[in-house]
Chain A
Amino acid sequence: MSDDPSTFVLIALTVITAATPLVFAAMGELVTERSGVLNLGVEGMMLAGAVSSFLCVHLTGNAPLSLLVGTAAGIVMALLFGFLTLSLQASQVATGLALTIFGTGLSALVGQSLIGVAYEGLPKLSVPVLSDIPTLGPLLFQHDVLVYGSWLLVPAVAYFLNRTRGGLVLRAVGDSHDAAHALGYRVIRVRYLATLFGGACSGLAGAYLSMAYAPMWVENMSAGRGWIALALVVFAVWQPGWVLFGAYLFGGITILQLHGQGIGINVPSQLMSMLPYITTIVVLVLISLDQGRVRRNAPAAIGQAFHPTT
């Protein structure tokens, strides 16, 4: 490793770009899971968002519109999931897996003509004056809109969950849908909204991949990031701040895995790919020592279908 600050900045920048889609996808899934819904279709929703936003930018050249289209694609996928699991009460696990398979196949079909198409990437929005600070400037103030957005999303979600009435109701629904129903809260509606929010975030995460990270369309380009996002939520014990930390940690590991050979780390790449999952397992073991933290934050009703009959 070199002491040259610009090398450090370069590596840090790649870590940020690797972490940003994880932040979006995991924050969305966190909100979904906190309402008691386990959506394993993150990967599929990301791919839908990635291909549709890239298709849109290819056709129109309009980047803001394309981000919206990517978000909408995620929402449509989540709506499908919500209809099957919340309205028709299908198994959430099976439906989520099906959603991933469906999203993978559909995006490959839609994106066939997009392979090899070039796009210059989302414009960087430099903050005047601040972006000129050495080291800190390029690290914090020369990014595209989604990076800033991911940084704002975390405190916004944390504030919503812990400080607002809506967040309290959402956590209540995730803890015990029967009790929430008994108090007159609309369990299914809350869960739909949380599921759609998760879809929107996953769609944005996918859009970031195809419009900023790559930027191009490659089949199955999310490459397991949806699964890492799912692991991240558990890793973070359903706490937004820890999702941010975990996303940067896992993003850093991804970068190490890509550039490991280049910077002199001779570890088999398969081992590096395993690291996020191994870390999650280790963290799960560690957090199980603090039952209070788990009981406070883990949604007790996760994955359970709700029958509003009694």
Chain B
Amino acid sequence: MLNPADGPLVSMRGITKAYPGVIANDAVSLDLQAGEIHALLGENGAGKSTLVKVLYGLLQPDTGEVLWRGEHAKLRSPSDARNLGIAMVFQHFSLFESLTVVENIALGMAVSANDSLRTRIREVSSRYGLPLDPDRDVFSLSVGERQRIEIVRCLLQEPQLLIMDEPTSVLTPQEVSELFVTLKRLASEGVGILYISHKLDEIRELCDVATILRGGKNVATALPKQESAASLAALMIGEDVQPVVRVDNPKTGDPLFALNKLDVPAKTRQSLALQDLSLVVHAGEIVGIAGVAGNGQDELLSAIAGEVPVQPDEMIWLKGESVAGWTAGQRRSFGLCAVPEERLGHAAVPSMSLAENALLTGFHRQPLQRAGLIAMSRCKRSANQIIDTFSVQCHGTGSAASSLSGGNLQKFVVGREILQSPDVLVVSQPTWGVDAGAAAAIHKALQSLVKEGAAVLLISQDLDELMAITDRIGALCAGRLSNFYSTPSIDAQQVGQLMGGKTALDGVA
């Protein structure tokens, strides 16, 4: 066991890494002790990812060095890092979709995909409350389930240093506290943990030390337990953030959107069936659907957006018309826009430019074509408007969607739909992996959209988000919806019960 007096477990000294046109890390330093949970805080583009990629051997710094237990460490590749005892849970998962869970884990660990590995996976996943079937194909798993693979893979390596890139964004509050128990136990066993998150409350609860990056530079090292969320946020973005203010909408308008006993049979053996879903969303309100990923959120969004046909017609209503038989394009033209959870590959085409991506959903409601031909100048103007309104950081409308960071692309795809001024907007996990500043911008945009008389259905796993901006809330569990409650009348714990499968709360109207 390491004694803190022996010096830091890992020490990064003056790391500088430049890309054409941008210095991602500018002489960044960081010391992490064994047994310490160390937060790495910063907005998107602050250089957090670059720094941890250097630490994990994925990038070579231009200058600077990494010391491991006081000695110079050669980190030419991730396997060098793994040999030292460094493991990492990625934000964008490095998973192979066509392979099974056990095969994926074997690839990250340099062992064979055999029965003893299956047994160890089952052990670790049950010990840490991360249910995982080793023989499932990854392509059939939800985002949340995929992240469990990454966490289990790291835990199986019994690492000395565990890097976690936003690990809790897809977990329920109960799972988060279970994970924290695990992380604290790992830390007490002498494992160092580098914890990247934008959830400031979590960092204050969990982390011993925080290193804060802004614009590629160290700006501060803080003791999060002695800071407030607001002071941490101020350090991170360099100005005071305006917390999202609850806007209670006592009066709501006419029902704009409704599901009436929606049944969607499971498409494949792996996917979930939606059963008997009913809800109404009125003009001027945000209705939230809580729930852990993999409980039917994807299926629900596809059914509402029109990506999968639904029978019979009377199950989905939009502005008084039954639209279940309509295509996605017809629904858009009539006023229903949707933002799916997966930014790359579902909401946006990775290899296409922002202008082209603006066209892809925009042409139904905006004049982006002329005599059946694409009006590229108008697409660029539309994309520029999104970029300006939502301060998307990019190199202009010609940038490929895949070149944007997750948070910026999220602002773009949400903004694209909002600027089409839909009557009904359905968004799934709009702030997943997005920093506090961008999340606040997205929340404000949703609030101003409903103020103008639109209806918003927000599917999310982020309880803070749901509690902060929704007017009514329910939960989706195993393909079934709970009752809906007025958000101010219940607390996060009660929503947690709904997410766990309760359909009604005792003593709440």
Contact = CB atoms under 8 A, between A and B. Distances in A.
Interface in A177-224: 178-180, 182-185
Interface stretch (B75-83, B257-265, B439-447): B75-83
Contact of A168 (B97, B106, B137, B139): B106
Interface stretch (B26-34, B107-115, B373-381): B107-115
A182 B98 contact: no
A307 interface: no
B97 A291 contact: no
B58 interface: yes
Contact of A300 (B98, B113, B137): B98
A168 B99 CA distance: 9
Instruction: Place the interface of chain A in its size category.
Output: 20 to 34
Interface string B37-64: 0000000000000000000011100000
Contacts of A269: none
A19 to B, nearest CB: 28
Nearest to A169: B107
A183 B137 contact: no
Chain A interface secondary structure, helix, strand, loop or mixed? Answer: helix
B95 interface: yes
B116 interface: no
Given A168-B103, A172-B107, A184-B82, A295 B94 contact: no
A300 B97 CA distance: 9
Which residue of A165, A179, A292 has the most chain B CB atoms within 10 A of its CB atom?
Answer: A179
Interface in B131-145: 137, 139-140
Contacts of A124: none
Interface in B401-419: none
Contacts of B57: 184
A138 to B, nearest CB: 42
B154 to A, nearest CB: 12
A29 interface: no
B68 interface: no
B419 to A, nearest CB: 31
A104 to B, nearest CB: 34
B97 A295 contact: yes
Contact of A179 (B96, B139, B269): B96
Contact of B98 (A165, A180, A183, A298): A298
Instruction: Place the interface of chain B in its size category.
Output: 20 to 34
A300 B138 CA distance: 13
Contacts of A295: 97-98, 137, 139
Contacts of A176: 94-97
A182 B90 contact: yes
Given A168-B103, A168-B113, A291-B268, A183 B97 contact: no
Contact of A175 (B97, B106, B140, B268): B97
B96 A175 contact: yes
A296 B138 CA distance: 9
Nearest to B111: A165
A184 B139 contact: no
Contacts of B113: 168
A297 interface: yes
A183 B269 CA distance: 30
Nearest to A179: B94
Given A168-B106, A178-B94, A184-B78, A292 B99 contact: no
A182 B81 CA distance: 12
B99 A183 contact: no
Contacts of B139: 295
Contacts of A169: 107
A179 B105 CA distance: 12
A171 interface: yes
B213 to A, nearest CB: 19
A183 B268 contact: no
Contact of A296 (B77, B93, B94, B137): B137
Contact of A182 (B58, B97, B103, B106): B58
Interface in A90-115: none
Interface string A282-310: 00000000011001111110000000001
A291 B96 CA distance: 16
Contacts of A298: 98
A184 B97 CA distance: 18
Nearest to A296: B98
Given A291-B268, A295-B137, A296-B137, A182 B78 contact: yes
A268 to B, nearest CB: 41
Nearest to B108: A183
Given A184-B77, A184-B79, A168 B98 contact: no
Interface of A: 165, 168-169, 171-172, 175-176, 178-180, 182-185, 291-292, 295-300, 310
8 contacts: A176-B94, A179-B93, A179-B95, A183-B107, A292-B269, A296-B98, A300-B97, A310-B59
Given A169-B107, A176-B97, A183-B108, 15 more contacts: A165-B106, A165-B112, A168-B106, A171-B96, A172-B96, A172-B103, A175-B97, A179-B96, A182-B78, A292-B269, A295-B137, A296-B137, A297-B98, A298-B98, A310-B58
